[in-house]
Amino acid sequence: MAVDIKVGNIVELKKQHACGSKEFTVTRTGADVKFKCNNCGRIIMLDRETAEKRIKKFL
Domain spans in the chain, listed from the N-terminal domain onward? 18-58
Are the C-beta atoms of 17 and 40 separated by less than 8 Å? yes
Burial class (CB in 10 A: 0-12, 13-18, 19+), 51: buried
Per-residue pLDDT at 29: 95
Dihedral sign for Cα 39, 27, 45, 54, please: positive
Global pTM reads 0.90
CB-side exposure of 35: number of CA atoms within 13 Å?
A: 26
- The pLDDT of residue 1 is 59
Rounded Cα gap, residues 28 and 31, in angstroms: 10
| pLDDT tens column, 3-58 | 899 999 999 999 999 999 999 999 999 999 999 999 999 999 999 999 999 999 99
